[in-house]
Amino acid sequence: MKTAFITDSSCGVHPDILKEKGIVSLPLQIILPNEDKALLDFVDAPLETVYQYIEQGIMMSTSIPPLGLIEKTFKNLKKENYEAVFCIPINPGLSSCYNALRLAALEAGLEFHHVDVYMPSVFELYAITRAKEMYDEGISLDDIENRIREVSKNAMTFLIPNDLDHLKKGGRLTPLAATLAGLLKIKPILKIDGSCEGKIDVFDKIRTFNKAVDCVVNELQKRGVDESWNIAIAHSKGMEHAQLTKDKLQAAFPNHEIEIVELVSVISVHTGLDSVGIQAYQKI
């Protein structure tokens, strides 16, 4: 069955790069306040531009790829004799993108396959890339779904935001809570995984960034992370904290090659700058 593999820009890679790998990536939208036109992630709004808006105190919002673009993409796939689409977009716990893709596939007459990997960024990119690779190796779509779904159950993301004022302005932290947290040097640790259905939840509240990273390291060890797992760090213009995080993780997991990447725009918009994310997932 001729199948197209679909993701979106929350995987953290420019659509043109994924196109070279035979994967379609639809750009999410970044919406500026008091403006009619939304910016397409990567296309109209490079990551550095998004950082500049955040530094200027502009509170942006995000949205799914334009419906017209989704519909056009799927209709073109049908014209190119594709019979099915295999979709790993931003997780439904954070966005309604999945439902828009499903409806577009139904409208275009394409068989729809989807796996909720519960988190964006590095793991989303890894999952869609491995899905395409397995398809090219002749593995059935059902088997691909099952393999990715099984790994997704245990995958985990921890996020340590450092800009509490940004969270306060965005309404995700009350002014009182932000003030107290700042005075007491409390670092909230957020999590996104299957246990909270891909929604953002509070994992813990720790004094100082160093202790917050230690807490995450302990949790990874507790949950059995070993050489069969990948570990990645993502940051939003916070390389100093990202490197400190890597040093601690590398000491705990000396046999791992731990990469540092930039946090995807659609997450940075909500968390602010100098946030650090840690993802761990088993290899497929």
Domains in the chain, please, with CATH? 3-28+64-152 (3.40.50.10440), 156-282 (3.30.1180.10)
d(CA 207, CA 152): 30
Quickly state the pLDDT bin for 176 (edges 50, 70, 90): very low
Collapse the DSSP code of 279 into the 3-class scheme (helix H, G, I; strand E, B; otherwise coil) and give the result. Answer: strand
Q: Would you say residue 113 has pLDDT above 60?
A: yes
Give the pLDDT score at 37. 75
Mean of pLDDT values over 55-75: 93
Quickly state the pLDDT bin for 168 (edges 50, 70, 90): low
Quickly state the pLDDT bin for 164 (edges 50, 70, 90): low
Q: Would you say residue 242 has pLDDT above 50?
A: yes
Could you tell me whether strands 111-114 and 84-87 are parallel, antiparallel, or unpaired per DSSP bridges? parallel
Are 104 and 112 a contacting pair, CB within 8 Å? no
Are 263 and 271 a contacting pair, CB within 8 Å? yes
The secondary structure of residue 45, as a DSSP letter, is B
d(CA 51, CA 155): 28
Six token digits for residue 278: 């840690």
Q: Would you say residue 162 has pLDDT above 60?
A: yes
Q: In Å, how far are 209, 225, 254 from 282, measured between CA atoms? A: 26, 8, 17
State the pTM of this model.
Answer: 0.91
Q: Would you say residue 185 has pLDDT above 70?
A: no
Give the pLDDT score at 105. 96
Kindly report which listed range (45-49, 198-202, 218-222, 259-263) carries the lowest average pLDDT score.
198-202
Q: Please state, for a pLDDT cut of 70, what percent of the chain lies above it.
A: 92
Could you tell me whether strands 229-235 and 201-207 are parallel, antiparallel, or unpaired per DSSP bridges? unpaired
Give the pLDDT score at 173. 46
Give the pLDDT score at 234. 97
Which burial class, exposed, middle or buried, applies to 45 when counting CB atoms under 10 A from its CB (0-12, 13-18, 19+)?
buried
Give the pLDDT score at 172. 47
Mean of pLDDT values over 268-283: 93
Give the pLDDT score at 184. 47
Mean of pLDDT values over 101-105: 96
Give the pLDDT score at 34. 76
Q: Would you say residue 284 has pLDDT above 80?
A: yes
Q: Would you say residue 182 has pLDDT above 70?
A: no
d(CA 277, CA 160): 6
Mean of pLDDT values over 224-241: 96
Q: In Å, how far are 24, 123, 261 from 17, measured between CA atoms? A: 10, 17, 16
Mean of pLDDT values over 176-197: 67
Quickly state the pLDDT bin for 179 (edges 50, 70, 90): very low
| Torsion sign (Cα): 124, 128, 130, 134 | positive
The DSSP element (H or E) to which 193 belongs, if any, is: strand 186-193
Instruction: Report the mean per-residue pLDDT for the chain.
Output: 90
**Strongest mean pLDDT among 139-148, 200-209, 262-271:** 139-148
Residues in the chain: 284
Q: What count of other Cβ atoms lies within 10 Å of the Cβ of residue 200?
A: 18
Collapse the DSSP code of 217 into the 3-class scheme (helix H, G, I; strand E, B; otherwise coil) and give the result. Answer: helix
Quickly state the pLDDT bin for 187 (edges 50, 70, 90): confident
Q: Please state, for a pLDDT cut of 90, what percent of the chain lies above it.
A: 73
Bridge partner list, 160? 276
Kindly report which listed range (79-93, 116-130, 184-198) carries the lowest average pLDDT score.
184-198
d(CA 31, CA 112): 29
Six token digits for residue 79: 């014209």
Q: What count of other Cβ atoms lies within 10 Å of the Cβ of residue 89?
A: 30
